[in-house]
Chains A and B, each alone.
Chain A
C-alpha cells in the first residue's frame, strides 16, 4: 500500500504517523535511540551527524515543552536550529501554512518539525515540500504524535522487554488524544498482544475497538493484571462541561490513585506524556512513586527524537556510494 512516509526503497522519508509503518522501521528507530541514550551521559553531549544541516521547528500551536526536546535533540546532533512560533504571528496576519513553509524552504532548511492544531497538517506540509526536505510531525490535531508514541514504546521496551507478553492500558481522554492514537499503533505494531483503553464513553472516539484495543469503562476491571499504565492528559477546557461534569468526579472515577494502581500487576509501570494534571488524572503519590517512569520518558524522548532525525537525515542524499572504508 502507498505510504507517503516512505521513499521508493521503503526507507523512512518523513515521520508523520506510526500507523502503517512496518515493524522493521520502528525497531530501527528504537535501536538507534539506544545508541543516543549513551550520548547524553557523556561530557560532550553532541555527535556531528547533522553538522551543517538546518532543522526548523515550525509550531503553529505553542508548546515550549515539545519544542525544547526537539531543539535539544537537533542540537545534540550538531544541527543548526531555527524556532518559529507561527501560532502567534503570521497566521493571524492572514499568511497561509504554505506561505510560511515556502519561506522556510527558500531559506534552505533541511528538516521541518511541525506542530499544528489540525489533524493532517503534517501530511499536508509533507505533500508540498521538495524531495530533499523531511517532515517530522510533532503533533497534528487529534491525529498523531509519532515521536511521543515512539518514546513511550521505547520506555516500555526498556522496562518490560518482553513486548509480546504484555498487557497495556491507556487511561483517559482517548477522543482528543493524538498521543493515544500513536501509542496504540506503536504498541500493536511491535506485537503487544493486549492493549486496553479505559475511559468514560464521552472520551472515546467512534469505533475505537477497530484500532485493535479492548474497551473498558471501569478502572478496576480495566487495570486488572496490567503491566503498563499509560495515563493521558485531560485538557483544562474539557474538565467540566458536556463531556465530564467535573474534575473531581473524573479523578474519583478515572484518576490513577495508589488504591487503583493496586488492581494492576505489582510491578506495573506508570507513564504519562506530560504535562500532568496532578489530582485530576493522576495522584501525586503515584506520579512520584516508585512505579512511575515519567521522568525517564522525558530523557528517552530526546534520544528517540535524535534517532528519528538521524535516520531521516541519513536517507536525504541517496545518490553516491563510497566503497569499503574500514
Chain B
C-alpha cells in the first residue's frame, strides 16, 4: 500500500518542519518527504489542501476501561475514539480491574489492542501490587510484557520507605516512574479545589499544598535515587514552580497537564456540574494561568487527554458522589490548539506538546515523521468548527465539561502504520 498525501502543510516539530510538503508512505513507513522516492506510484492519494499534516498524537494518559469496566467503555469504543481524535499512541494507567500488576494482563491488553489495530497501546504497569503502596511489582517481567513505565494511577504511596525503594528499584533498570503527585491525607475525601468555590458550595476541598507537598518529596527522592520521574497532570501554580526549580537543578523530571486543566477552573463547577468533577480537581484561575505559562516556557512538557470515560449512572449523582473524570481523546487536539491560540504560541509548539515530547517521555519512536519512521499520521483542519455532543463522540463515555460547546480544530484523517483508521 502506497499513499501520497499531497498539498498539505506538514508540521513535524521534531524534524523542524513547518512547511507545505507532500508525504509519501510505503509499507507502513514514511518513504519520503517533499519529493517522491524513485519509482513511487501511489495506490491512494489524499488531498490535504488546506489541512495540517502532523505526526499522530501521543497521549500520556487514556483510560480504556479494559479489563474490568466494560460497561463504561470497551477497548474497541475507546480506540475508535482515539482514531477519531488523531491519537495513534497512548499510555494507559494501571487502574483497571484487575490492576495491571501481572505480565499476563499486560500481554492480553497488548494483544487485544493489536488485533483492533486502531492505535498503539502502551500500558503503564502498576508500581506496587494492587496499587496498594506496599509491595513492589515484577517490573522487569512487566516491561518484557510491554509496559513502558510504572505508575500508581490516582493512588499515592503513603509509606515513604516503600516509595523510596520503588524509586531505587526502578532506577536500577532505568525505568521511568509516572506519578500523580497528591498527598493522600490532605486530599482524603476531597472533591474540589480548597478555595472560595468549595467553601461556597460546601464541597470538601483538596488544598493546593496536597500537590506541592507530594511533589517536593517525589523530587527529593528522585534526586537522591537518581530515578527518572514523570509528574502526571499537574494542577497547581506551586507545583509548576517546584518543577521549574527541579529542572534547573538537573533532576530527571518531566511533567504533563490535562487538556481540561488548561482551560477550566473551579468556577466551572457552576451549580454542582458533575462533569467538572475531575482528578486532580479544577483549580483557581491563578493555577490555570501558571499551568498554561509553564507549558509555554517548556517547564511542562506535554498535554494529555486524561481520557476517563464514565457511564451516565456514575455521573447522575450529587457532585461528590459522582465518579471523577472526563472523556478526552477526541478533545485533545482542539483543546491543545486553543491553548496555543490563548498563549499566542505557534501551531508547531502546540503539536510538539502532543507528539514528540510525550513520545520521548514514553521512550517510544513515534511522534515524528522522519523518513523510515512509522507512518502514524494525523491530518486535521485547525479552523473547522464542531459541536461537542453525545452523539458526535465515538467514546462510550459522553462525560465532558465541554459538552454542548463548540470546538475549533477537527481531525480529518488518521493513519496508523500507513493505513487509514479514521476519515471524516
Classify A-B as touching or not with yes or no (CB < 8 A).
Answer: yes
A contacts, CB < 8 Å to B: 4, 19, 96-98, 116, 118-121, 123-124, 128, 140-144, 178, 181, 205-208, 210-211
B320 interfacial by beta-carbon distance below 8 Å: yes
CB atoms of A124 and B318 under 8 A apart: yes
Query: In the complex, which residues of chain B have a beta carbon less than 8 angstroms from the beta carbon of A4?
Result: 271
User: Which of the listed residues A98, A118, A128, A178 has the most CB atoms from chain B within 10 Å of its own CB?
Assistant: A118
Question: B316 contacts which chain A residues (CB < 8 A)?
Answer: 96, 98, 128
Contact across chains for B318 and A120 when beta carbons are under 8 A apart? yes
Residues of B contacting A210 in the complex (Cβ-Cβ under 8 angstroms): 196, 199
Bitwise interface map of B from 197 to 222 toward A, beta carbon under 8 Å scored 1, else 0: 01111111101000000000000000
Contact partner of B198 (CB less than 8 A), chosen from A123, A128, A206, is: A206
| Extra contacts besides A123-B271, A143-B201, A206-B207 (6): CB < 8 Å | A4-B271, A98-B316, A118-B320, A121-B318, A206-B194, A211-B196
Closest-CB distance, B194 to chain A (whole angstroms): 5
Residues of A within 8 Å of B319, CB to CB, are 118-120, 124
Instruction: List, sorted by A's number, 23 A–B pairs whose CB atoms are closer than 8 Å.
Output: A96-B316, A97-B318, A118-B319, A118-B320, A120-B201, A120-B272, A120-B318, A120-B319, A124-B318, A141-B203, A142-B203, A143-B202, A143-B203, A178-B202, A181-B200, A205-B198, A205-B199, A206-B194, A206-B198, A206-B205, A206-B207, A208-B199, A211-B200
Measured in the bound complex, the distance between the Cα atoms of B358 and A306 in whole Å is 61
| Nearest-neighbor residue (CB-CB) of B316 within chain A | A98
User: B193-251: which have CB < 8 Å to A?
Assistant: 194-196, 198-205, 207
Q: What distance in Å separates the Cβ of A283 from its nearest Cβ neighbour in chain B?
A: 29
Q: How far is the CB of A206 from chain B (nearest CB, A)?
A: 5
Residues on the A chain within 8 Å of B321, using CB: 118
Task: Choose from A96, A98, A120, A206 the contact partner of B320 (Cβ within 8 Å).
Answer: A120
Q: Judge if B297 is at the interface, Cβ distance under 8 Å.
A: no
Given contacts A119-B272, A120-B272, A206-B207, contact A96 B317 (CB under 8 A): yes
Residues of A close to B159: CB separation below 8 A:
none
Tell me the minimal C-beta distance from B188 to chain A in angstroms.
11
B199 and A206: CB pair below 8 A? Answer: yes
CB-CB under 8 A from A96, the residues of chain B are 313, 316-317
Contact call A116/B318, Cβ cutoff below 8 A: yes
Q: Across the interface, do A144 and B202 meet the contact criterion of CB distance under 8 Å?
A: yes
Kindly list chain B residues whose C-beta atoms are within 8 Å of the C-beta of A98.
316
When the two chains form their complex, are residues B317 and A207 in contact, meaning their CB atoms are under 8 A apart? Answer: no
Nearest chain A residue, comparing its CB with the CB of B269: A120
Chain B contacts to A: CB under 8 angstroms: 194-196, 198-205, 207, 271-272, 313, 316-321
- Most chain B CB neighbours (cut-off 10 Å) among A123, A144, A205: A205
Contacts of A119 in B (CB 8 A): 201-203, 272, 318-320
In the complex, what residues of B have CB within 8 A of residue A142's CB?
A: 202-204
| Pairwise interchain contact A141-B320, C-beta atoms closer than 8 A | yes
* Minimal Cβ-Cβ distance residue in B for A3: B271
A211 — which chain B residues lie within 8 A by C-beta? 196, 199-200
Q: Closest Cβ of chain B: how far from A267's Cβ, in Å?
A: 32
Closest residue to A208 on the B side, CB-wise?
B199
Interface pair A123/B202, CB less than 8 Å apart: no
Q: Is the CB of A124 within 8 A of B317?
A: yes
Q: Which 8 A-B pairs have the closest CB atoms?
A: A120-B272, A143-B202, A142-B202, A205-B199, A118-B318, A119-B202, A207-B196, A210-B196
Residues of chain A within 8 A (CB-CB) of B320 are 118-120, 141
Complex-state Cα separation, A128 to B205, whole angstroms: 26
- Whether A181 lies near B195 (C-beta < 8 A) is no
Let me know if B195 and A207 touch, CB within 8 A.
Answer: yes
> For the complex, what is the distance from the CA of A22 to the CA of B38, rounded to whole Å?
76
Q: How distant is B260 from chain A, measured CB to nearest CB, in Å?
A: 20
* Complex: chain A residue closest to B204, CB-CB: A142
A288 to chain B, nearest CB (A): 31
Complex: A94 Cα to B71 Cα, angstroms? 17
Smallest beta-carbon distance B213→chain A, Å: 16
Cβ distance A99 to chain B, nearest Cβ, rounded Å = 10
User: CA–CA, A124 to B275, complex, Å?
Assistant: 13
- Inter-chain CA distance A268–B184, complex, in Å, is 45
A98-B272 Cα distance, complex, nearest whole Å:
16
Q: CA of A116 to CA of B318 in the docked complex: distance in angstroms?
A: 9
Q: How many whole Å from B71's CB to the nearest CB in chain A?
A: 15
Residues of A close to B271: CB separation below 8 A: 4, 120, 123
| CA distance in complex: A144, B201 (Å) | 8
Considering residues A119, A144, A207, A211, which has the most beta carbons from chain B within 10 angstroms of its beta carbon?
Answer: A119
Query: Once the chains are docked, how many angstroms separate the CA of A25 from the CA of B384?
Result: 46
Which chain B residue has the least Cβ–Cβ distance from A144? B202
Q: Find chain B residues with CB under 8 A from A121 CB.
A: 318
The answer for the CA separation of A143 and B319 in the assembled complex, in Å, is 12
Contacts of B200 in A (CB 8 A): 19, 181, 211
Q: Which residues of A contact B201 (CB under 8 A)?
A: 119-120, 143
Give Cα A123–Cα B200 distance, bound, in whole angstroms: 14
CA distance A140 to B201 in the complex (A): 10
A308–B403 Cα distance when bound, in Å, is: 34
Of all chain B residues, the one with the shortest Cβ separation from A210 is B196
CB distance from A295 to the nearest CB of B (A): 28
Least CB separation from A125: chain B residue: B318
Tell me the nearest residue of chain B to A128, going by C-beta: B316
> Distance in Å from the Cβ of A72 to the closest Cβ of chain B?
27
Q: How far is the CB of A223 from chain B (nearest CB, A)?
A: 23
A116 CB to closest chain B CB, in angstroms?
A: 7
How far is the CB of A201 from the nearest CB of chain B, in Å?
13
The answer to whether A205 touches B205, judged by C-beta atoms less than 8 angstroms apart, is: yes
Task: Compute how far the CA of A120 lies from the CA of B202 in the bound complex, rounded to whole angstroms.
Answer: 8
- When distances are taken between beta carbons in the complex, the residues of chain B under 8 Å from A128 are 316
- B317 engages A123 (CB within 8 Å): no
Q: Which residues of B contact A120 (CB under 8 A)?
A: 201-203, 271-272, 318-320
Q: Of all chain A residues, which has the CB nearest B194?
A: A206
How far apart are the CA atoms of A178 and B200 in the complex, in Å?
10
Contacts of A207 in B (CB 8 A): 195-196, 199
Complex Cα distance, B272 from A121, in Å, reads 9
Q: Which residues of B contact A116 (CB under 8 A)?
A: 318
* Residues of A contacting B205 in the complex (Cβ-Cβ under 8 angstroms): 205-206
Q: Which residue of A lies closest to B191 (CB)?
A: A119
The CA of A207 and the CA of B197, in the complex, are separated in Å by: 9
Q: Determine the chain B residues whose CB is within 8 A of the CB of A143 once the complex forms.
A: 201-203
Known: A97-B317, A98-B316, A118-B318. A141 touches B202 (CB 8 A): yes
Given contacts A4-B271, A123-B271, contact A206 B196 (CB under 8 A): yes
